[in-house]
A and B are shown apart, each in its own frame.
Chain A
Amino acid sequence: MTFLNFFISGISLGSIYAIIALGYTMVYGIAKMLNFAHGDVIMVGAYVCFYAVARYELNPFLGVVIAMIVCTILGMIVERLAYKPLRQAPSLAVLITAIGMSYFLQNTALLLWSSNPKVFPSIVGRGAFKLFDGELSISHITALTIIACLVIMAVLTLFISKTKMGKAMRACSEDKGAAQLMGINVNATISMTFAIGSGLAAVAGALLCSAYPTLMPTTGSLPGIKAFTAAVFGGIGSIPGAFLGGLMLGVIEIFAKAYISSQLSDAVVFGVLIVVLLVKPAGLLGKMTQEKV
Chain B
Amino acid sequence: MSDPVLKVENINVYYGSIHAIKGISFEVYEGEIVTLIGANGAGKSTTLNTISGLLHPATGSVSFLGESLSKIPPHKIVERGLAQVPEGRRVFAQMTVQENLEMGAFTQNDDISADLEKVYGLFPRLKERMTQTAGTLSGGEQQMLAMGRALMSRPKLLMLDEPSMGLAPILVEQIFEIIADLHRTGATILLVEQNAQMALSIASRGYVMETGKIVTTGTGQELLASEEVRKAYLGG
Chain A contact residues, CB within 8 Å of chain B = 164, 167-168, 170-171, 174-175, 177-186
The interface residues of chain B lying within 8 Å CB-to-CB of A182 are: 78, 103-104, 106-107, 149, 153
A182 to B78, CA, bound (A): 7
B102 interface contact, C-beta 8 A: yes
Given A171-B95, A182-B103, A183-B106, CB of A177 within 8 Å of CB of B75:
no
- In contact, A181 and B92 (Cβ under 8 angstroms): no
A180 to B53, CA, bound (A): 9
Q: Say which residue of A177, A181, A185, A186 sits within 8 Å of B83 (CB atoms).
A: A181
Q: Say which residue of B95, B106, B149, B153 sits within 8 Å of A164 (CB atoms).
A: B106
A175 to B79, CA, bound (A): 19
Q: Say which residue of B73, B94, B150 sits within 8 Å of A170 (CB atoms).
A: B94
Most chain B CB neighbours (cut-off 10 Å) among A179, A183, A186: A183
A170 to B92, CA, bound (A): 9
A178 to B73, CA, bound (A): 14
| B116 shortest CB reach to chain A, Å | 14
The interface residues of chain B lying within 8 Å CB-to-CB of A185 are: 73, 75
The interface residues of chain A lying within 8 Å CB-to-CB of B104 are: 182
Given A180-B54, A185-B75, CB of A171 within 8 Å of CB of B103:
yes
Q: Say which residue of A167, A177, A184 sits within 8 Å of B95 (CB atoms).
A: A167
The interface residues of chain B lying within 8 Å CB-to-CB of A171 are: 92, 95, 103
A257 to B91, CA, bound (A): 48
Please give the number of chain B residues whose Cβ is less than 8 angstroms from any Cβ of chain A in the complex.
26
A38 to B47, CA, bound (A): 40
- Of all chain B residues, which has the CB nearest A177? B54
Given A167-B102, A168-B103, CB of A180 within 8 Å of CB of B75:
yes
Q: Say which residue of B52, B90, B103, B149 sits within 8 Å of A184 (CB atoms).
A: B103
- Of all chain B residues, which has the CB nearest A174? B92
B86 interface contact, C-beta 8 A: yes
The interface residues of chain B lying within 8 Å CB-to-CB of A179 are: 103
**Is the contact region of chain A dominated by helix, strand, or loop, or is it mixed?**
helix
Can you list 18 A-B contacts (CB < 8 A)?
A: A167-B99, A168-B103, A171-B92, A174-B93, A174-B95, A177-B86, A178-B90, A181-B54, A181-B83, A181-B84, A181-B86, A181-B90, A183-B76, A183-B107, A184-B75, A184-B103, A184-B106, A186-B75
B74 interface contact, C-beta 8 A: yes
A184 to B52, CA, bound (A): 13
- Of all chain A residues, which has the CB nearest B91? A178
Q: Would you list the 8 A-B pairs with minimal beta carbon distance, nearest first?
A: A183-B78, A183-B107, A178-B90, A180-B74, A185-B75, A183-B106, A182-B106, A183-B75
- In contact, B102 and A164 (Cβ under 8 angstroms): yes
The interface residues of chain A lying within 8 Å CB-to-CB of B153 are: 182-183
| A25 shortest CB reach to chain B, Å | 15
- Of all chain B residues, which has the CB nearest A287? B94
| B82 shortest CB reach to chain A, Å | 10
| B61 shortest CB reach to chain A, Å | 21
Q: Which residues 54-103 of B sit at the A interface, judged by CB distance below 8 A? A: 54, 73-76, 78-79, 83-84, 86, 90-95, 99, 102-103
A179 to B52, CA, bound (A): 12
The interface residues of chain A lying within 8 Å CB-to-CB of B76 are: 183
| A109 shortest CB reach to chain B, Å | 36
| A235 shortest CB reach to chain B, Å | 13
The interface residues of chain B lying within 8 Å CB-to-CB of A175 are: 90, 92
A21 to B153, CA, bound (A): 36
A211 to B90, CA, bound (A): 47
| A177 shortest CB reach to chain B, Å | 6
The interface residues of chain B lying within 8 Å CB-to-CB of A184 are: 75, 103, 106
The interface residues of chain A lying within 8 Å CB-to-CB of B74 are: 180-181
A171 to B75, CA, bound (A): 14
| B138 shortest CB reach to chain A, Å | 19
The interface residues of chain A lying within 8 Å CB-to-CB of B75 are: 180, 183-186
- Of all chain B residues, which has the CB nearest A175? B90
The interface residues of chain B lying within 8 Å CB-to-CB of A183 are: 75-76, 78-79, 106-107, 153
